[in-house]
Chain A
Amino acid sequence: MLRVFWCILLRDLTLAMRRRTDVLTTLFFFVIVVSLFPLGVGTERKILQMLGPGVVWVAALLASMLALERLFAADYEDGTLEQMVLTAQPLSLLVLAKITAHWLLTGLPLVLIAPLVGMQYHLTSDAILVMMMALLIGTPVLSLIGAIGAALTLGLRGGGILLSLLILPLYIPVLVYGAGAVEVSSVDLADIRPYLTLLGAFLLVAVLFAPLASSAALKISLE
């Protein structure tokens, strides 16, 4: 079981390393979106500190959305997805491996670059730390939920737009508590615990159920 998980994970990471631009575009998209906001709303320190957490999270949502489209698309086009469905391995395990690889390539870089964008918004170092923690727990949830939508819209014309229409509303809980954690951290650092606990609970539930739903969706889409 674990051997198969590693095999797919390494396969996807190897593939991404041979096409590095795909990974970098997501990261730069995130940075650009975050950098555009101050130009739109003004660069006053107070406003930026207030908007920061929400803007960073919305940008993370959009970046994750953008990358999701490619989660299954390449494997669908060359028929390897079909072969995965036909192996004697549980499909949800393979899907979980693919989602993990996807998160390592598109979610984790966002977490690592968060200090940089946090400084753009004059966030305190505490707030930046909390933001990194919240992103670390929250972005895997985005990848997991988004995988269901990516599987449902597999191979459709205009699938990317449709994907955002279907999945963005489902991201709301992560957005609310992810941004909420950073906001309260400016008041009292002890208050962030329930937020992170809730995000952790979402992650746990998503790990259990999203791969099952995604593999069911893949089977429907491949018929």
Chain B
Amino acid sequence: MALNWFRFAAPASFYPIAGRLVPVFWVLTAVLLLVGLYWGFFETPDRLGGSNPQKEYYRIIFIHVPAAWMSMWLYVVMVGWAAIGLVFNTRLSFMMANAVAPTGAIFTFLALWTGSFWGRPSWGTYWDWDPRLTTELILFFMYIGYIALHSAIDDTRRADRAAALLAIVGLVMVPLIFWSINCPDPSQCAALHQRSNLTQIEGNILFAMLMVALAFWMYSFATTLMRLRSIILTREAENTWVRDLVSKGGRP
């Protein structure tokens, strides 16, 4: 490969690239979200399930399920960047992990919020100690912990590394926590949340869900890159390329 990937790993060269990508991702977000929501509202069946069908309110899964997916995926992405940063000592990877965290926390919150709205008509309560919902709450605490630890440490290098280590420990613990909540009695496991299998979902519902999930991915890219750009500017404020940028009025 003639391309030198490490060139893009330098914040100075990544900054303008990120700037050009942000609008593209915003447009993709809008288009995919429109398609997904249209499909979800008008092209899917009115009710879900057999003997005890869920009525119109089930449509909240078009937000709830993709948000829950994203909350988990983004945690993995965050840990991935954090681990790369710890191993290769690259500043941009830490910034990336740092930029992903708030988006992940937002999706976790969204999943919890929509989950409780859906729980009201379906379970008759806003909150139940359902294993998945509880684990989602723990995941939210993990994101908050990461952000809190990072912002409590003044020295950015220590903050990056300490938060990265915490995220990795969290990734190891999350499955264990889920499992312990799911099976409080080790000899038998029960779950309030119905088991789902992607192949059993009706085609139109699956399509709408996947479209929204893709839209959420694009949204994550867009917000992460925007946040990354501002992190780069703050951290590299002393470097000449940032000063040049400022004196030119912000145009790269």
For A159, the closest partner residue in chain B by CB is B152
B contact residues around A198 at 8 Å (CB): 186
Which residues between 150 and 194 of chain A lie within 8 Å of chain B, taking CB atoms? 152-153, 156-159, 162, 165-166, 169-170, 172-173, 176-177, 180, 184, 191, 194
By beta carbon, the residue of chain B nearest A194 is B186
Measured in the bound complex, the distance between the Cα atoms of B142 and A159 in whole Å is 17
Contacts of A89 in B (CB 8 A): none
Please report whether the interface of chain A is mostly helix, strand, loop or mixed according to DSSP: helix
**Chain A residues within 8 Å of B179, by CB:** 173
Residue B176, interface by CB 8 Å:
yes
Binary contact track B161-190/A, C-beta < 8 Å → 1, others 0: 110011001100100110111001111000
Minimum CB–CB distance from B188 to chain A (whole Å) comes to 10
Say whether, besides A170-B173, A173-B176, A173-B177, A152 and B162 are in contact (CB < 8 Å).
yes
CB of A119 within 8 Å of the partner chain: no
Instruction: Note all chain B residues with C-beta closer than 8 A to A176.
Output: 180-181, 184
Report how far A194 CA is from B188 CA in the complex, Å.
11
| Chain A window 193-223, contacts with chain B (Cβ cutoff 8 Å), 1 for yes, 0 for no | 0110010000000000000010011001101
Contact with B along A125-166 (1 / 0, CB 8 A): 000000000000000000000001100110011110010011
Bound CA span A191–B184, Å: 13
Contact present for B181 and A223 (CB under 8 Å): no
Residues in A with CB closer than 8 Å to B169 are 148, 170, 213
Contact residues, B144-167 vs A (CB, 8 A): 144-145, 148-149, 152-153, 155, 157-158, 161-162, 165-166
- Chain B residues lying within 8 Å of A173, measured Cβ to Cβ, are 173, 176-177, 179-180
Complex contact B141–A223 (CB within 8 A): no
Q: Let me know if B141 and A220 touch, CB within 8 A.
A: no
- The smallest C-beta distance from A133 to any residue of chain B, in angstroms, reads 16
Asked whether any CB of chain A lies closer than 8 Å to the CB of B138, the reply is yes
Nearest chain-A residue to B182 (Cβ)? Answer: A176
B158 to chain A, nearest CB (A): 6
Contact A162 B162 (CB under 8 A): no
* Cross-interface CB contact of B158 among A157, A159, A184, A223, cutoff 8 Å: A223
Task: From B165, B169, B176, B187, name the one whose CB has the most chain A CB atoms within 10 angstroms.
Answer: B169
Contact between A157 and B142, CB atoms less than 8 A apart:
no
Q: Which residue of A152, A191, A213 has the most chain B CB atoms within 10 A of its CB atom? A: A152
Could you tell me the distance between the alpha carbons of A6 and B179 in the complex, rounded to whole angstroms? 37
Name A209's closest neighbour in chain B (CB-CB): B172
Could you say which residues of chain A place their CB within 8 Å of the CB of B161? 220, 223
Nearest CB of A to B78, in Å: 15
Query: Using Cβ atoms and an 8 Å threshold, which residues of chain A touch B148?
Result: 162, 165-166
Report chain B residues within 8 Å CB of A216: 165
Once A157-B152, A162-B149 are accepted as A-B contacts, the answer to whether A172 and B162 lie under 8 Å apart by CB is: no
**Is there an interface contact between A195 and B152, defined as CB atoms closer than 8 Å?**
no
Decide if A156 touches B153 in the complex (CB within 8 Å): yes
Partner of A195, one of B155, B166, B170, B186: B186
Expressed in whole angstroms, the Cα–Cα distance for A220 and B176 within the complex equals 26
CB distance from A148 to the nearest CB of B (A): 6
Smallest CB–CB gap between A144 and chain B, Å?
12
Q: Mark A112-131, 1 if CB is under 8 A from B, else 0.
A: 00000000000000000000
Q: Is the CB of A162 within 8 A of B177?
A: no
State whether A166 touches B149 (Cβ < 8 A). yes
**Knowing A172-B177, A172-B180 touch, does A177 contact B186 (C-beta < 8 A)?**
yes
Q: Which residues of B contact A (CB under 8 A)?
A: 138, 141-142, 144-145, 148-149, 152-153, 155, 157-158, 161-162, 165-166, 169-170, 173, 176-177, 179-181, 184-187
- Nearest 6 A/B pairs, CB to CB: A173-B180, A194-B186, A220-B161, A176-B180, A166-B145, A169-B141
7 A–B contacts, CB within 8 A, in A order: A158-B152, A165-B144, A165-B145, A176-B184, A180-B185, A191-B187, A220-B158
